[in-house]
Amino acid sequence: MCEHTFVRWDNLTIEAQEGTALPGYREPAIVRHFDAPEALDTRFYEVRAKSALNRVPERSRMPFRWTINPYRGCSHACTYCFARPTHTYLDFNAGRDFEKEIVVKVNVPEVLRVEMARPSWKGEHVAMGTNTDPYQWVEGRYKLMRGIWEVFRDAANPCSVLTKSPLLLRDLDLMKEIAAVTDISANLSVPTIDEKAWRASEPHTPHPRARLEAVAELNRAGIPTGILVAPLMPGINDDPRQVEEILRVAAEAGATGVSGIALHLRGEVRGIFMEWLASYRPDLVERYEELYARSAYAPRVEQERLGALVRRARARSAGAFGRDPWRDHAAREPLRTAAQPQQRASRPPEAEQTKLF
């Protein structure tokens, strides 16, 4: 089936090279180039994955235990992306290679169907978009997510997705079919609506306004969808008026939850981000060097400042509506953080705002 799918793309492919080996894969990867402006100078490595489900370590603070990542590397090219260091496991670098050398697990839907049919699988919640974006540009060519959604539907398995792309609306029909048999939710990441900050820090992502429009359409269709204002970067996207505007539009879109996360700079991401910062906002370099001098995470006082920023913006948006739209949703269903399974919240929404900081 996959081979027949690839034939349909021959008119988009200008080069296919056999025999490129990648660490961790027994079979050579097929390298493809697509004749499209968005894919210039980008190589796509078609590999066959041995497994689709990835178990999250128990020590992790994530609210889910299983993930699926159909792609490795991401053409969004977000300067702050925490997933960049994972590319070094493939002997690629975390900078340009992460953005231009994309690994495509062409058999993920088939492998997932086998794994979910095993008696040992207990139907646990599975989160997508926790590493690289499953709806980055190349998903429009390979359409792996449609096959993945079909498996979740047929297995009636709870699931969620986090993305920066309205492309997920393409699969709304399947998401609605899943919602009829089990729990499903979505989150759109919207760090900023400032044009300059967006184009500089997320150069190849869809427009933030389009993401907020997708939130509205998903909620109208009955798919519980919230937003993630992340990462919050001091001096770049922490203008209270901008954050308040994001929350106001999100409330109008019926967003079921809102969360914020402070920027963290682990591993190679630190050097990549600081190099970008030196060219984009050299006036902030000294401040960031102080903030992240001792840890990959911002100091507690800075985390608390950013947490309060989101709470105040939420309060102002509630005042504009004459009610708290986030609490309205919490009365019907729990407020969820990004890619979190549906479960009864044990604390008020305000606590959910700060627990990620």
Residue 22: pLDDT band by 50, 70, 90 thresholds? confident
What does the alpha-carbon distance between residue 31 and residue 50 come to, in Å, rounded to a whole number? 19
pLDDT tens, residue by residue, 101-127? 999 999 999 999 999 999 999 999 999
In three-state secondary structure terms, 130 is: coil
pLDDT for res 53: 97
More confident residue, 70 or 29: 70
Give the mean model confidence (pLDDT) for residues 85-104: 96
pLDDT at residue 332 tops 50: no
pLDDT for res 324: 66
pLDDT for res 329: 57
pLDDT for res 28: 87
Give the mean model confidence (pLDDT) for residues 251-278: 95
Residue 321: pLDDT band by 50, 70, 90 thresholds? low
Q: Give, for 316, the enclosing helix (H) or strand (E).
A: helix 300-321
pLDDT tens, residue by residue, 286-309? 999 999 999 999 999 999 999 999
pLDDT for res 63: 76
pLDDT for res 319: 64
Phi and psi of 45, rounded to 5°? Answer: -100, 110
Whether the CB-CB separation of 314 and 348 falls below 8 Å is answered with: no
Q: Which of 245-254, 273-282, 311-320 has the lowest mean pLDDT?
A: 311-320
pLDDT at residue 268 tops 80: yes
Give the mean model confidence (pLDDT) for residues 165-193: 98
Token match 């009365």: residue?
Answer: 331
pLDDT for res 19: 62
Q: Which of 71-80, 212-221, 327-336 has the lowest mean pLDDT?
A: 327-336
151-157 long-range contacts, CB within 8 A, separation 24+: 151/109, 151/112, 151/113, 151/116, 152/126, 152/178, 152/182, 152/184, 153/177, 153/178, 153/181, 154/113, 155/113, 155/116, 155/117, 155/123, 156/123, 156/181, 156/182, 157/116, 157/123, 157/126, 157/182
pLDDT at residue 265 tops 50: yes
pLDDT for res 23: 84
Mean pLDDT value across the chain: 86
| Tokens coding 51 | 């497994």
pLDDT at residue 354 tops 90: no
Residue 139: pLDDT band by 50, 70, 90 thresholds? very high
pLDDT tens, residue by residue, 156-174? 999 999 999 999 999 999 9
pLDDT at residue 322 tops 70: no
Residue 18: pLDDT band by 50, 70, 90 thresholds? low
pLDDT tens, residue by residue, 254-263? 999 998 899 9
What does the alpha-carbon distance between residue 222 and residue 175 come to, in Å, rounded to a whole number? 9
What does the alpha-carbon distance between residue 296 and residue 181 come to, in Å, rounded to a whole number? 41
Q: Which residues make beta-bridge pairs with 68?
A: 128
